[in-house]
Every structure is written in C-alpha cells, then in structure tokens.
A and B are shown apart, each in its own frame.
Chain A
Amino acid sequence: EAQVTQNPRYLITVTGKKLTVTCSQNMNHEYMSWYRQDPGLGLRQIYYSMNVEVTDKGDVPEGYKVSRKEKRNFPLILESPSPNQTSLYFCASSFRAPTPYSPLHFGNGTRLTVT
C-alpha cells in the first residue's frame, strides 16, 4: 500500500532533550516536506526537500533540522525542543514538486508535547 509513515504518533518530552521524528514513503517520491498544524494557523511548512541531499527552509524553520540522505526517508530533528514546538506535525510527499497533478500525500501525524 502506498503510504507515508511517521513515527511516533505521540511523543511527550521535556525542554532541551533532543528528539527525532521519522518519516518514510514507499512511493519513490522526489519531494518531501514537513508541516506543523496549530489552531487558527493551519498547516505551516517547516522544511522541504526536492530530492536526495537537497533541502530548503519553509516558513517556520527555526528550531528544526532535517536531512535527506535517502530518497524514502526525511527525518525531522529537534535539537533542543521548547514548549512553543508543542504541535501536531505532518510529513508529506509528492512525485515532484506539488502541482495539481502531483498533490501531497500526508502521513497520519505526530502529536508532540514539550513540557
């Protein structure tokens, strides 16, 4: 089954403790992206990757890192999480850069709480 898999689904951590949220897709998609969803703000893009070893900042990249060493994986790294990074995170992929003919496929989300 074609899918985007994020792990973990839920994560509670403390301020400053490094964490990684994994994302993997099995559709051979070139484009991958991370979003965070906050009430009243919708989905805001954190980072995206056009292909292996090619990443770029989205609208809210501060406090996050990503890497794209393999086509299928796009982990999101929080080196020193803070409470304002408490949010619902989505990983997404598409065949090429998103277009009407290549829409985003989303994972089921990771709910992160930083205390």
Chain B
Amino acid sequence: DQQVKQNSPSLSVQEGRISILNCDYTNSMFDYFLWYKKYPAEGPTFLISISSIKDKNEDGRFTVFLNKSAKHLSLHIVPSQPGDSAVYFCAASVSTGGFKTIFGAGTRLFVKA
C-alpha cells in the first residue's frame, strides 16, 4: 500500500506556462514533505520542502502548497522552462521515529519549447 501517491505518471506543458505536479499521502503522521528532481542518468536532487506547520513555501519559480485536511500537496513551477523537464518525486517523512523517507512513484514533466 503506497503511502505517498503521485497519480500522474507524466505531464506535458508549454514553455512559459505553469506546471502543477500533485501528490497525495495517506499517513497523517507525516510532518514534512520534500520534492526531488531527477534527470536521466543522475541521482535525484533536492528541490524544495515544506513542514506541516506551513501551507506554502516558495523558492524562486517553485512553490509547494500543502493541504493537510485533504492530505494533498502540489508543486507549482512558474514559468516552466525546457530545463525543468525531469522526473519529480514527492517524498514524506515523520520527524519522530523511523527516520524513513517515503517516496512517490514520480511524475515525468515535459516542457515543450
């Protein structure tokens, strides 16, 4: 049973438009969430994170929104650029006990020029 779900395997967006990547989770104990970005033949790299005490975190073109009641988070990329084309993993963890990070299956983003 996947505790972190990314239901869209892929997403295609035009350059300059907004990309919205979604993530749902089932474990209400998760108290922080991260997004990682992965290019082919490379390991994932950290992109942005959010703690459960916040509902929004912004870093340049990237914003993550957290809706705890819906157990849903989303990553917004505005404006999207061709270099953003990659696989994006949503991850969640519990800060007390376990120290495990649970990843979603990933969403492949294509940004068309």
Q: Which residues in A have some Cβ–Cβ distance to B below 8 Å?
A: 4, 31, 33, 35, 40-45, 48, 50, 58-59, 90, 92, 97-100, 103-109
Contact = CB atoms under 8 A, between A and B. Distances in A.
Given A98-B93, A100-B32, A103-B49, A43 B100 contact: no
Interface of B: 2, 4, 6, 9, 32, 34, 36, 41-46, 49-51, 89, 91, 93, 95, 99-106
Given A59-B100, A100-B34, A103-B34, A42 B105 contact: yes
B100 A90 contact: no
Contact of A48 (B2, B6, B100): B100
7 contacts: A41-B105, A90-B44, A98-B101, A100-B50, A103-B36, A103-B49, A106-B45
Contacts of B44: 43, 90, 104, 106
